[in-house]
Structure 1
């Protein structure tokens, strides 16, 4: 397989992840945020974490099956990701940074500043922040807008790369799979 095929596969993975993000956001918008420790809140927070993880996968390095293509595919996909983000309006670019920061400090890792534990009066009982406090509906709507924008751009890139890399069309002239 060529580097371009692995790049095509990386684009396809990104599209899969973004489509997952879209589903998670749409499901969140159908639910109330819910009160802390309620079943509604647990489901909402689970969808939120799933959204953050799926979104973050698009913006991290992945390993192709053939290790010798990791660097060139990562480089090309990294350039594509940067160009995608540059096309976003400023508030969506900043929101993207918030999502990635949440992923890196609280959801995929446990950085101390995500919880900021404090001990008062030399007690062993810490108090801190809930790093999983999910986005409210207004922020989920913004996430959905960002994700839809990215889905469009990734789909265009997938079509472009697939068109030059594969000789057989996905569908025949009648629309049937070939």
Structure 2
């Protein structure tokens, strides 16, 4: 395989992840958020975490099968990711940053600021915030809008690169 083919594979992985994101969000909209520690809430939070993790995968570096192509594919895809986000309106660009921050501080990692533990009266029992509190339905609708925009852009890039990277076409006229 060559660099263009590995880049095409990375775009395809992004498309797979974004399609999963959309599905998780669609499922969340069909459910009530539920009260804390109920089965409804556990399912909703699980879908939320799945959404954030899948979304975050699109915006992180991944390894290629042949490691010698990792840097070039990462650079090309990194530039493409930046372009995708810059093309979003300001509201969706800020929302993207919130999703990535949620992923980086509380979903994929455990940063102290995500829980902000406070100790009162020198007590060892901390009080903190719940970093896993999922987005409300209105925010999930916004997530679907963002993800749909990205799916369209990734699909266009996949077609563009596929025409260059491969000699055989999937569909003929």
Quickly name the TM-score band, shorter chain normalised: over 0.9
Other-structure match for 2:86: 86
Residue 17 of structure 2 aligns with which residue? 17
- 1:176 aligns with none
* Aligned-residue offset at 1:163: 1.0
Alpha-carbon separation, structure 2, partners of 1:86 and 1:101:
17
Give the Cα separation in 2 of the matches to 1:99 and 1:67. 29
Provide Cα deviations, 1:18-51, integer angstroms capped at 9, x if missing partner: 0000000000000001011110000000000000
2:60 maps to what in 1?
60
Superposed CA RMSD? 0.8
- Contact conserved, 2:4 with 2:164, CA < 8 A, in 1? no
Question: Hey, what's the Cα distance between the residues in 1 that align with 2:86 and 2:133?
Answer: 28
Distance 2:84 2:163 in 1: 20
State the SS of the aligned residue for 1:117: coil
Match of 2:100 in 1: 100
How many pairs align?
173
Structure 2: tracts of 5 or more residues without a match: none
Superposition TM-score, scaled by structure 2 size: 0.98
| CA deviation profile, 1:109-166 (whole Å, cap 9, x unmatched) | 0000000011111111111000000000000000000000000000000000001111
Moved over 3 A (4+): none
Look up the match of 2:69.
Answer: 69
Partner of 1:27: 27
Task: Determine the C-alpha separation between the residues in 1 that align with 2:164 and 2:10.
Answer: 16
Alignment pair present for 1:109 and 2:109: yes
Cα distance, 1:171 vs structure 2: 3.1
Q: In structure 1, what is the equivalent of residue 124 of structure 2?
A: 124
Unmatched 5+ stretches in structure 1: 174-178
